[in-house]
Amino acid sequence: SAVISQKPSRDICQRGTSLTIQCQVDSQVTMMFWYRQQPGQSLTLIATANQGSEATYESGFVIDKFPISRPNLTFSTLTVSNMSPEDSSIYLCSVAHSSNQPQHFGDGTRLSIL
């Protein structure tokens, strides 16, 4: 399976600031996704990152709050904008080599907002 690197692995941020999380894969993948895992909770899909076009957001998530880039088939970024304590979560990137392959996850970014 693909090797997925997420940076940073953790961060502590001030209220009102923004943080960009990077997801790098060691091989080209068709599908990349971003999930949020709030403390003690399950995973919720934020959006599907589409190469060369805008991301597809799930209900409850908007581009202004969570802008996503995907400039090529091995890299994507998620920005958490204008952060508040409610954004304290683990953010995970997942990838699939094709639409017929299961998703594999990075180790996540543990984000705390003070």
Partner 1 sequence: GNSVTQMEGPVTLSEEAFLTINCTYTATGYPSLFWYVQYPGEGLQLLLKATKADDKGSNKGFEATYRKETTSFHLEKGSVQVSDSAVYFCALSARAGGTSYGKLTFGQGTILTVHP
Is residue 76 close enough to count as binding partner 1 by CB under 8 A?
no
Is residue 106 close enough to count as binding partner 1 by CB under 8 A?
yes
- Of 107, 69, 114, nearest to 88 (Cα)? 114
The residues, any chain, with a CB within 8 Å of residue 36's CB and separated by 6 or more, are: 43, 44, 46, 89, 90, 91, 92
- Binder of partner 1 out of 42, 52, 60, 86 (CB under 8 A): 42
Are the C-beta atoms of residues 49 and 55 closer than 8 Å to each other? yes
In angstroms, what is the minimal distance from the CB of 114 to partner 1? 21
- Of 29, 54, 38, nearest to 87 (Cα)? 38
Q: How many residues belong to the site for partner 1 (CB under 8 A)? A: 23
In angstroms, what is the minimal distance from the CB of 103 to partner 1? 6
Is residue 33 close enough to count as binding partner 1 by CB under 8 A?
yes
Is residue 94 close enough to count as binding partner 1 by CB under 8 A?
yes
Q: Which stretch binds partner 1 (CB under 8 A): 14-22, 66-74, 81-89, 90-98?
A: 90-98
